[in-house]
Structure 1
Amino acid sequence: MARPRKPLLSRERIVATAGALVDTEGLDAVSTRRLAAELGVSGPSLYNHFRNKDEILDAVADSVSAKVDLSMFDEGDGRDWRTALHDWALSYRAALTDHPNIVPVLARGPGRRPAGLRVADAVFGAMVRAGWPPAQATHIGALMRYFITGSALGSFARGFVDDETAYDPANYPHLGQAHLLAQRQQKVDEGAFETGLRALLDGLMIQYEAVRTRDGSAPTEA
């Protein structure tokens, strides 16, 4: 039997095509009609794999979550909880900044998405093993998600225009160099994220020491 001229339709092909559309044109570019045209298939054939557009976007979001490194949370990895959170946050933000248009979907939470749930499970499990009470471990997971997704939703540096005349010193005496921020976007945004991340983790360390003192124990740093 002759092989089909076009690759058979699969979930993977649909997700890859939808992800490329989201990356290049944004969430509104994704529709079952557009995807069918891009894939060279009839619209109804997509419903053999996904019930609707929202399920497709969920799958695209989960494919991004699957790129986040979780190895630092393995029990035998050896990194303490603070270092593990730091390294994971960098990996998580890198995945999101590579695919910024899908961040609003990811920001809604993992729902039933397998990769997203593995991320949540890994973070929570590592914090509890390190000695955090379960309630605080949940708060830490939520806090980190707020911080990381929030940083990926927009760029502080890109919020300023590359036009020196836009910031008249008569009106904005402290923004004389603001027009340079757009040129230095990556450095500024990454520096801001690292500064905030370290401040956040320093604050958590203070709380962690308070937990140890209150409980009269020395939780493991796994």
Structure 2
Amino acid sequence: MRQEKATRKTSLTPELIVKAALRIADEEADLDRLTVRRLAADLNVGAMTLYSYFRSREEILDAMADHVLGQLRLPDEPDSGPADALRAVAYALLAMMREHPSAARLLATRVTDSQEALRGAMEAVLRRFVDAGIPGPLAVRCYGFLITYAIGFVSYQTPRSWGREDDADVAEIRRQRVHFYSGLPIDDFPLVVGLAEHVATLPGDEQFAAGVEAYIDSTLRLVERDATGS
């Protein structure tokens, strides 16, 4: 055991610590359960060892947010115009946050100064928009909307498992949710009861798509207005 612990210490790196922290946070789906002591135990080192890499738990959380943002992957296919660029970014952000379920809360509570994170998750996105024909100031607004929309949607969907289409049991879970809404007192909830099947789709991927398409429509009107000067 001592030999194993010593070996782990010599191979420890900030990146290894951050990846372990993300794994724990994703598995627990609760950042509050990610403590320095828990992380140290998972890495088989003493807590003080981690403090030689990060001065506090807050620094670890900041590094986790930076790592997630820096891993944003945009499609390689060229965009045919603003609509394609907006969709590409919207779904890339959604995929990034789904890969790390803890990302939504991380990004909602941290501010990044990491150049790597800013390059991958902001500069690259703005470049994508501008190259697709979206004026710079509007591109910034598009970035702000899409990242906050993705954070909000994933935060809403994550605890509502009947919304995830990639869940093998989603049909049964959604059926149970429809049954719950349908069973509410109709005098108090006439609309929820009557629209139970639709209410159950609120955390579904189709809801995310509807929001993205509505935003694309409004953005295209702004792009056209900017181009015509009207």
User: TM-score normalised to the size of structure 2?
Assistant: 0.76
**For residues 164 and 208 of structure 1, do their structure 2 counterparts lie closer, same or farther at Cα, with a shift above 3 Å needed?**
closer
Please name the residue that 1:175 is paired with.
Answer: 192
Highest RCO, 1 vs 2 (Cα 8 Å, sep ≥ 6): 1
2: CA distance between counterparts of 1:198 and 1:101?
26
Please name the residue that 2:169 is paired with.
Answer: none
1:48-197 correspondence runs (5 A): 48-72=52-76, 77-108=78-109, 111-113=112-114, 114-155=116-157, 158=160, 162=177, 163=180, 166-176=183-193, 188-197=203-212
Give deviations 1:136-186, integer Å, cap 9, x for gaps: 22212111112111111113993998335751222211222666679x66x
Please name the residue that 2:42 is paired with.
Answer: 38
User: TM-score normalised to the size of structure 1?
Assistant: 0.79
**For residues 44 and 181 of structure 1, do their structure 2 counterparts lie closer, same or farther at Cα, with a shift above 3 Å needed?**
farther
Q: Does 1:17 align with 2:57?
A: no
Which amino acid in the other structure matches residue 189 of structure 1? G
Please name the residue that 1:218 is paired with.
Answer: none
Which amino acid in the other structure matches residue 68 of structure 2? V
Please name the residue that 2:220 is paired with.
Answer: 205
Which amino acid in the other structure matches residue 61 of structure 2? L
Unaligned runs of 5+ in 1: 216-222
How many residues are treated as equivalent by the alignment? 207
Does the 8 A contact of 1:64 with 1:95 survive in 2? Answer: yes
| Alignment RMSD | 3.0
